[in-house]
């Protein structure tokens, strides 16, 4: 009856999103490509966190993984090579209310985009940056990337890459104002999901390096870790990634690591005997540039002109 007051109510949200709400075009990555697993994880996180698709933006550069925005039914920006991060920072500076995910690869981020990489870490704007590391330029068909291991034969180095591979995890930990650095792999869906969810919930720039299999061009680079779970070092801590108990049976190589300890995080990042995964570093107190860039956004055009005139008057002689 209208007007009848009860001591209970059904709190039914006006909109409830299901996985289908985030499915974009059919993914056209190669069969077995690790990118498929990341796409599934991100779509599930959007559903779990109930992100309105029109409030969500996926920004990418150029590369196989950078096709990501086409496969999400959200807003997207498939930008230029190496430019995903400045575009994402631009989106965030004008629309701090939007949830921003960035898809970039090892070539896109660590080579042509390297200058943007270190400054985006320093800006620490609230977004999730997923760096798909398959140790190769896949889209352009097998050129040496900054993370290619010495000896890897590619089209640009047919006798094997010979420079030491760049370590993106250790590098990121060394950038000023880093606030969240994690590492995961595409073949452990529970871990991948947990890491990306923690990254989403962190306020600031969450940088996640994802060891991503490319069966087309670098099918062997992660093979020893896929075939031998003992070679995967799982980082544990009460402030770290909450692990699904289903992983306990297979992944027994563990290490307690406090993500506040950047010195130990850097030492772990340099280990080559195992592939460490989990939360390397987390500091939620680091300043976020979006707190600054959104100042004055609610000003009217008249307010802006008045403020501009006041500013210019300071130089009047
Ligand atoms: Fe994935 Fe490699 Fe195929 Fe690109 S070339 S879609 S990275 S498997």
Average pLDDT over residues 13-26: 95
Whose CA is closest to atom 7 on ligand 1? Answer: 214
Longest dimension (CA), the chain: 81
Average pLDDT over residues 274-302: 95
Give the pLDDT score at 6: 61
Dihedral pair phi/psi, residue 205, rounded to 5°: -85, 120
Average pLDDT over residues 10-14: 79
Give the pLDDT score at 3: 46
Pairing of strands 232-236, 254-256: parallel
Cβ count within 10 A of residue 99: 19
Average pLDDT over residues 228-253: 94
Q: Is residue 216 in contact with ligand 1, taking CB distance under 6 Å?
A: yes
Give the pLDDT score at 9: 72
pTM > 0.85: yes or no: yes
Q: Which atom of ligand 1 is nearest to the CA of 35?
A: 1
Least confident of 4-18, 58-72, 194-208, 235-249: 4-18
Interval between CA 84 and ligand 1 midpoint (Å): 19
Token pair for 90: 């631009």
Average pLDDT over residues 131-149: 97
Interval between CA 157 and ligand 1 midpoint (Å): 19
Q: What fold is seen in the domain 19-288?
A: Rossmann fold (3.40.50)
- On whether the CB atoms of residues 248 and 86 are closer than 8 A, the answer is no
Interval between CA 219 and ligand 1 midpoint (Å): 10
Q: Which atom of ligand 1 is nearest to the CA of 132?
A: 7
């Amino acid at each position: 009856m209208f007007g009848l007051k009860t001591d209970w109510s059904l709190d039914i949200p006006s909109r409830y999103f299901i996985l289908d709400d985030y499915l974009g075009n059919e993914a056209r990555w190669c069969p077995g490509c690790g990118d498929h697993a990341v796409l599934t994880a991100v779509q599930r996180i959007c559903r779990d966190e109930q992100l309105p698709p029109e409030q969500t933006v996926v920004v990418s550069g150029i590369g196989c993984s950078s096709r990501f925005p086409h496969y999400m039914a959200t807003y997207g920006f498939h930008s230029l090579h190496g430019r995903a991060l400045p575009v994402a920072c631009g989106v965030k500076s004008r629309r701090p209310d939007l949830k921003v995910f960035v898809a970039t690869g090892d070539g896109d981020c660590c080579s042509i985009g390297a200058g943007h990489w270190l400054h985006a870490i320093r800006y620490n704007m609230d977004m999730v940056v997923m760096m798909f590391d398959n140790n190769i330029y896949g889209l352009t068909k097998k050129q040496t990337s900054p993370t290619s291991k010495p000896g890897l034969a590619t089209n640009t180095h047919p006798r094997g890459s010979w420079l030491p591979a760049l370590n993106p995890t250790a590098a990121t930990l060394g950038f000023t104002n880093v606030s969240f650095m994690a590492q995961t792999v595409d073949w452990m869906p529970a871990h991948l999901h947990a890491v990306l969810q923690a990254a989403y919930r962190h306020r600031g720039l969450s940088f996640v390096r994802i060891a991503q299999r490319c069966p087309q061009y670098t099918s062997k680079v992660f093979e020893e870790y896929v075939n031998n779970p003992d070679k995967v070092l799982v980082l544990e801590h009460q402030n770290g990634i909450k692990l699904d108990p289903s992983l306990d049976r297979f992944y027994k190589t563990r290490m307690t690591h406090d993500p506040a300890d950047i010195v130990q995080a850097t030492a772990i990042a340099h280990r080559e005997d195992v592939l460490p995964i989990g939360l390397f570093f987390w500091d939620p107190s680091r300043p976020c540039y979006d707190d600054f860039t959104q100042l004055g956004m609610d000003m009217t055009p008249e307010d802006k002109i008045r403020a501009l005139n006041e500013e210019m008057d300071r130089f009047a002689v």
